[in-house]
Structure 1
Amino acid sequence: MAEHSDAEADEKQERAAATLHQLITDIDEHPNDYRPYYDLSAFLIQLKSYTQAEELLMKALGLFADRSQKAKNTLTYGLGNVYYAAGEYTKAIQQFQQVTDSSLKQDAYIMLGQSYYGEKNYGKALAFLITAHDQAKQDPELNRLIGDCLLASGDLNSAADFYRQTLNADPDDAAAHFNLGVIELSNGHRDQSEPEFEKSRQLDENYFMTHRERIADIEKVLRKQQKE
């Protein structure tokens, strides 16, 4: 079993190295194109190489920012993604706020919403996500993000509406099932919460196990309320 896992890890590492090599080659072969820099930065984010991704994009901005507004906007958006992935939400917000390109504005609003959510500023997060929602009312991920903001703000019923919209479009969203279960349990509807938790566990056991302490916390609060 361990040998199988080691072989899988080696293969994954080899694929990553090959991808990295190809992306670097693309930059060398297209020195006047900003897009290979963006593509490489996105891959470095996947590898959690945030410092390298930041340095790469700063270099690219130095090369291309004055040549093209499209390049400047794309690379600035990419830099925001680096900071967001690294958990540096204030820096991420500063970058996303500079994005003016119409083709990136929607994504920038969503990332601003997620960055403010990361800072626990749920009011601002909701404002940006609702703005983005006007252009993408059926987007299940966006509906879930809005649900997360509303849940964090304590507006359980509105959050539940957005989680249901998410699940109408994507029935296999483990997080939406879990959070809908949290809302049902918080409202004292244990029988309705349990199928949601079970569905979440079936879809993504790692997600469920990571978040299940929340169930115990809610049950503790409910028991305390019953005693009072």
Structure 2
Amino acid sequence: MRLQLLFSGRIRPLGAPVPAYLIQTGDATVLVDTGPPRDRAGAHRADPDERVVLEPGEDVPALLGRLGVAPDDVDVVVCTHLDPDHAGNHDVFAGAEFVVQRSHHAWAVSAAGARRAAARAAWDRPGVRWTLVDGDTELLPGIELIESGGHVPGHQSVLVRLPETGPVLLAADAIPMKAALDPENRPIFPFDMDEAQVRASTKKLVDLARAEGAMIICGHEPANLTELRAAPAFYG
């Protein structure tokens, strides 16, 4: 099994990467999140309010293509959550199974709103093969989904057990930055919806990482660009 980090653009105010993750088990190809919408590449040049700086060729489908992975090769897409910078290219992977927490899916489809509408055309399509899970779940041997709500209802993180690197916890937006690793004193960010749940999920993930001896990859940590291996390099 191996894990590759795909950095798909940067959050403009922070210079922080927008990640997706490719996990290849030998039996299945799993993509965690699909990144910001490919049709927004270059939009930041004309729109000062565009939150994500995405250059042409930095979208997740393009990054996968450079690794020799075609959309039809992806068996499973794990949705940490359906915010637009994480679900902007779901439509590219029409043949995949999409795995999301049941509570998050229910929240996402329940009402209108700019946050849900931004990438909804990509993920809310007829014929999508949704698999709705409830709480912590083994997805495949060596890959576990960890419910970590608070940023949004039903957010999920991913624990990957690699044979050489050891356990790696993809915290996603439950712990977006290293500054948020302290459950009691961490900042609450503008897009976090429930402070109490954010702090509870932070504690849950930090405790899990400590118990497992896992490396935590924070979702939008600027230092990830220099401290971590980006594809085509990998963790195995």
TM tier relative to shorter chain: under 0.3
Which protein has the bigger strand share?
2
Give the TM-score, by structure 2 length.
Answer: 0.26
Which protein has the bigger helix share?
1
Give the TM-score, by structure 1 length.
Answer: 0.27
Higher relative contact order (CA 8 A, sep 6+): 2
